[in-house]
Amino acid sequence: MKLFYKCLLFYLIVFLARAQNDTPTNIILLIGDGMGLTQITSGMYANGNKTILENFENIGLAKTHSFKNLITDSAASGTAIACGEKTYNGVLGINHKNKSIPSIINYCSSYGYKTALLSTSSIIHATPASFYSNVDSRNEYENIALQLLQSEVNYFIGGGKKYFTKRKDKKNILVDNNPYFMVDNLKDFSVSESDKVGYLTYEKEPPKKSQGRTPSLPKMLSTLLNRFNEQNVPFFVMAEGSQIDWGGHANNTSYVISEFDEFEETIQIAYNFAIKNKNTLVIITADHETGGMTLSGGDISKKMVKSKFNTRGHSATMVPVFAYGPFSEKFRGIYENTAIFHKMKTAVSE
């Protein structure tokens, strides 16, 4: 009889351990385009010397160089993060041997995940496009738009409607054979029963936050997370704060800071969700730094920072990676940006 209870206890422990391992890990990947350490530091001091990123204890640094160039563009670095391989600048989802490669979206889909892409630029811009397209040039916007509609992505929100509706081939690909249920506001996005929902927020590129861009990235993310919560399925979402990069290109400190502010609110939404839903891994990183930005002065008590820029382009400095939740300790250390893909893959398959 004693043996019977011992066996029962043993099986119970195995069962519980399995049950725990069987809970798949949700992934929220937040990419601040062009968000180097100075962009974060500027935003932090301008916000009264605090940032939600202080809650993230697992921190690493990623090397951003592309296959041939020390200084990457968003296509090569997006591909590195999304697909796990270094490629040439300007190329999306194709490796240096000219082979199309699957992304973490494809990988997650094969594990029964729902997937989503959110962006404050157009959805066919390099960073989101690296998660679903395979093209020689990031400038093939109309081709990229077509590939989005043929992709495994479940939900997307971002600008660039004209690449779907006002095309050189005269087709309106939102009407012909479009598997996505298209909406034009977040309310319809949240109530739609469809498995594939798209929301194109602007005809071209969405405006700056300071010029009244809507919906905001945190609003997009919270709406999406509510949806996922109701569905009770594992999910992967990539949300991009696209215009931190554009502030850097413009060498405009207040542009950088206001875009970082919105990105910070987005991080807060993700963090709150991960606290309530323990099986959620949150990763925050950048594809590269933009502007060669340095903090050259300021006053903490006045929430004021001054900065200088070294370039109108990108720089080659490493970018920080912050992680919270299951598998977050794997993001410590210094590694290539391609490792982010492999670490996410581990979180999905283990």
CB of 74 to Zn ion, least distance (A): 6
**Residue span 197-236 as binding mask against Zn ion, x where in contact by CB under 5 A, dash where not:** ----------------------------------------
Question: Residue 174 Cβ, how far from Zn ion at the closest point, in Å?
Answer: 28
> Closer to Zn ion at the Cβ: 161 or 314?
314
Q: Which listed range, 133-141, 181-189, 242-250, 298-306, lies at the site for Zn ion (CB under 5 A)?
A: 242-250
Stretch that binds Zn ion, among 22-30, 86-94, 189-197, 241-249 (CB under 5 A): 241-249
* Nearest-approach distance from CB 286 to Zn ion, in angstroms: 11
Inter-residue contact 145 to 132 (CB < 8 Å): no
The residue number whose beta carbon is nearest to Zn ion equals 245
Q: Which of 85, 245, 259, 289 binds Zn ion (CB under 5 A)?
A: 245
Nearest Cα residue to 220 out of 119, 130, 315, 325: 119
- Cβ nearer to Zn ion, comparing 245 with 259: 245
- In angstroms, the first-to-last Cα distance of the chain is 36
The torsion angle over the Cα atoms of residues 156, 161, 166 and 172, rounded to 10 degrees, is 30
CA angle 113, 118, 124 (to 5 degrees): 105
CB of 104 to Zn ion, least distance (A): 22
Q: Which residues are catalytic?
A: 74
Q: Which is nearer to Zn ion, 26 or 307 (CB)?
A: 307
| CB-nearer residue toward Zn ion: 245 or 264 | 245
Does residue 259 bind Zn ion (CB under 5 A)? no
Rounded Cα distance, 340 and 83, in Å: 9
Distances (CA, A) of 242 to 19, 119, 286, 288: 38, 7, 10, 12
Q: Under 8 Å CB-to-CB from 128, ≥6 apart: which residues? A: 78, 117, 119, 121, 156, 158, 238, 240
Name the residues that contact Zn ion, by CB under 5 A. 245
